Amino acid sequence: MTAAVGFGIDIGGTGMKAAPVDLAASGQLLADRYRISTPRPATPDAVAGVVVALVRQFEWEGPVGIALPSVVRNGVVHSAANIDDSWIDVDAQGLFASVLGHDVVVLNDADAAGLAEMSFGAGVGRNGVVMALTFGTGIGSALFVDGQLVPNTELGHLEFRGESIEKWAAASARKRENLSWRKWAARVSTYLQTIDALFSPDLLILGGGASKSAEKWVPLLDARPEIVVADFAYSAGIVGAAMASSKL
Ligand code: BGC
């Protein structure tokens, strides 16, 4: 059974954001999202404390979906590229469920964003091989085959010049290296061409924080697959996490 209203939390490197979400038709947030800075260091216990504060803020009583920038299998965290290393091997689902006293589901943040786009956004009705990519601090990926998610693809970590390609092509690289939009778009094009060579996607959905300025770089991209801009930029992780929680 899918509930009509869900609650999602998106945990990022700098901010943790939450809101209730209308899952019946629109995927829209039912209240302004509430943001608390990610604690430093972002250890599991410190983050769990903020999760409790976010849920209390909305007096939410139902199941909670939580998106993390990590490989998450059966609720357990298996990678920590842009979060504290102490997350590795932590049963995040068990930790959050015990501090909240609610049912919890934990999933990868890009997978959550992709779920939101496929159900309510740029990917609605799209079959075949669809890849949703998020450009922010890192690069997140969500792969869909005929609408079915293949979780934890982690394609921001394809190796390029001896390191993860996200170090070179994420939105954070543009800011860090003060690149022009054109120079950064050329890097993203190289990345998308690599994705095309490996997966031959029918559609690429480009999201994450950088999609808010899509007009500055998306028209400059050079890659074969059809490209669309995500409908949900900042709220996609919240919406997808809420969707996952509604299945509990
Ligand atoms: C992480 C992914 C995450 C992506 C976007 C990467 O560094 O490994 O799990 O989806 O950043 O946050």
Contact 78, 65 (CB under 8 A): no
Split at pLDDT 50, 70, 90, the class of 158 is very high
Mean pLDDT of the chain: 96
Mean pLDDT score, 13-32: 94
Ligand 1 center from residue 108 Cα (angstroms): 8
Whether ligand 1 lies within 6 angstroms of the CB of 10 is answered as no
Name the closest-CA residue to atom 6, ligand 1.
138
The number of C-alpha atoms within 13 Å of 82 and in the hemisphere containing its C-beta is: 23
Helices then strands, each counted (H, E), the chain? 8, 14
Candidate from 166, 206, 238 with most ligand 1 atoms within 8 A of CB, to mutate: 166
Q: Is domain 125-229 annotated with CATH 3.30.420.40? A: yes
Whether ligand 1 lies within 6 angstroms of the CB of 246 is answered as no
Residue range 145-156, pLDDT digits in tens: 999 999 999 999
Split at pLDDT 50, 70, 90, the class of 82 is confident
Query: Taking the domain 5-111+235-245, which CATH number applies?
Result: 3.30.420.40
Residue range 109-150, pLDDT digits in tens: 999 999 999 999 999 999 999 999 999 999 999 999 999 999
Q: Which residue stretches of the chain are H helix?
A: 44-57, 92-100, 109-120, 166-169, 171-176, 181-199, 214-217, 236-245
Q: Would the pLDDT of 246 be above 70? A: yes
- For residue 3, what pLDDT is reported? 77
Q: Give the residue range(s) of CATH 3.30.420.40 domains in the chain.
A: 5-111+235-245, 125-229
- For residue 233, what pLDDT is reported? 81
> What atom in ligand 1 is closest to the CA of residue 12?
12
Phi first, then psi, for residue 105 (nearest 5°) are -125, 135
> What atom in ligand 1 is closest to the CA of residue 138?
11
Q: Which residue in this structure is represented by tokens 């999609």?
A: 211
- For residue 238, what pLDDT is reported? 98
Whether ligand 1 lies within 6 angstroms of the CB of 70 is answered as yes
98 Ramachandran zone, left/alpha/beta (phi>0; psi -120 to 50): alpha
Split at pLDDT 50, 70, 90, the class of 107 is very high
Mean pLDDT score, 215-241: 97
Q: Would the pLDDT of 2 be above 90? A: no
- For residue 1, what pLDDT is reported? 55
pTM equals 0.97
| Alpha-carbon distances, residue 55 vs 30, 105, 111, 197, 207 (angstroms) | 14, 14, 22, 43, 26
Whether ligand 1 lies within 6 angstroms of the CB of 108 is answered as yes
